[in-house]
Homo-oligomer: A and B are copies of this chain.
Amino acid sequence: MQNGFDVQAVRQDFPILDVQVHGKPLVYLDSAATSQKPQAVIDSLVDYYTRYNANVHRGIYTLSEQATAAYEDARAKVARFINAPSPECIIFVRNTTEAINLVRFAWGFDNVGANDEILISEMEHHSNLVPWQLLAQDRGAELRYLRVNNEGRLMLDGLDVLITERTRLIAVSHVSNVLGTINPVKGIVKRGHKFGSLVLVDAAQSVPHMPVDVQEMDCDFLAFSGHKMMGPTGVGVLYAKPHLLEAMRPFMGGGSMIRKVMLSESTWADAPQKFEAGTPNIADVIALGAAVDYLNELGMDDVREHELSLTQYALDALREVTGLRMFGPWEPQTRGGVVSFVLDGVHPHDIAQILDSEAIAIRAGHHCCQPLMRRYNVAATARASFYAYNTEEEVDALIDGIHKAQRVFGHAVERSL
């Protein structure tokens, strides 16, 4: 519709959007938790299991060669999608969480020591917070926090005092899954590098929604999840610069990641195999490749444009709702399509429950960001998030649903106003 992007045509590609909930058409506004999947991705899975399912790598027969070729082809697709210098710097893991933990174990243990510092932000998802807390505890290092201002932006002035010669790693999200804020990661990378620190970018909420170029960003590590970018559950990606992968110790030990195993010691295969122990999630990796193809067909610039206009539309409407408090920046250009809010007199869980009765799926809770909740002094928020298949009509439904929640809790709302 808007920007020459035909959202109705896109919707045709997503069979789940025909589902009825309580007899009403599904309005899915929880893509930040997990996205829906186009038919092409589902077909890819079926095709794999019905035509060429076999274990990959070193099977000298046709099915295994086909599976291996498709698996490695998906790696090349993912590499191109984020403009990685080569497929070898793409490691397939389960999800963003595992990607970050891989860095914690395979890089962190050798590179973060006593009194070293790790810098993260207050808006990090638990998956980009707890691993560093644990690493800091294990290594006697210090975990430092970059604070967030009232508008939902990183207080970058703080960087000057927070980054020191002892900073080994800065781990920061590209787009916040609560505030929607797009963080200026390129600048943070530059400042980190000046102090000799590496920088990990949690791109779980950016890679699915906007063009991302790791070489331009110059980050050292980048993590994201396939299931949030129209791919299947069970596959995530770690990108790392090649020389880092080469120097890192392995993470899990087992089949495929070895070169030579002797009784008392072993040598390792080169990356990416070094970090992919055991039988990988072959079908889902290949289907992630199909998701990347699909996103490329939509065009990531257009996806971003569509979400931008939808977010603008939603913010305009939410601004009019009495008693609604929105978290994060009001300018759509500086944020992704994730909108968190609370309502006076109606608890977020009750909002989500009432919206569900209208077949509208949003999330309520701490969104794996308890420290950020504490920062804003709320126990939970309601959160709607958009993707390429969402429409302005669905935003209208959301607003109607919010009004309904306020009606159900009429007295409570009045009392609290």
Contacts and interface: CB of A to CB of B under 8 A. Distances in A.
Contacts of A98: 252, 277-278
A170 interface: no
A15 B53 CA distance: 11
B254 A131 contact: yes
A22 B63 CA distance: 11
Interface string A3-32: 000000000000110010110001010100
Interface in A255-284: 255-258, 260-266, 277-284
Interface string A69-109: 00000000000000000000000001111101100110000
Nearest to A125: B255
Assembly of this chain: how many copies?
A: 2
A371 interface: yes
Interface stretch (A205-213, A351-359, A386-394, A407-415): A351-359
A227 interface: yes
A200 B109 CA distance: 26
Given A16-B53, A22-B62, A95 B279 contact: yes
A164 interface: no
A350 to B, nearest CB: 9
A51 B21 CA distance: 10
Nearest to A355: B61
A253 interface: yes
* Chain A interface helix/strand/loop/mixed: mixed
Contact of A62 (B46, B52, B122, B361): B361
Interface in A331-346: none
Interface stretch (A150-158, A231-239, A313-321): A231-239
Contacts of A148: none
Interface stretch (A34-42, A182-190, A191-199): A34-42
How large, as a class, is the contact surface on chain A? 35 or more
A394 to B, nearest CB: 14
A133 interface: yes
Contacts of A127: 253-255, 277-278
Contact of A279 (B19, B145, B225, B260): B225
27 contacts: A15-B50, A21-B61, A42-B46, A58-B365, A59-B363, A60-B353, A60-B356, A61-B360, A94-B234, A94-B280, A94-B281, A95-B279, A96-B278, A101-B253, A101-B277, A126-B253, A126-B266, A130-B254, A130-B258, A131-B252, A133-B253, A134-B253, A234-B283, A258-B370, A262-B370, A262-B371, A284-B284
A264 B94 contact: no
A64 interface: yes
Contacts of A278: 94-98, 127, 225, 236
A36 to B, nearest CB: 6
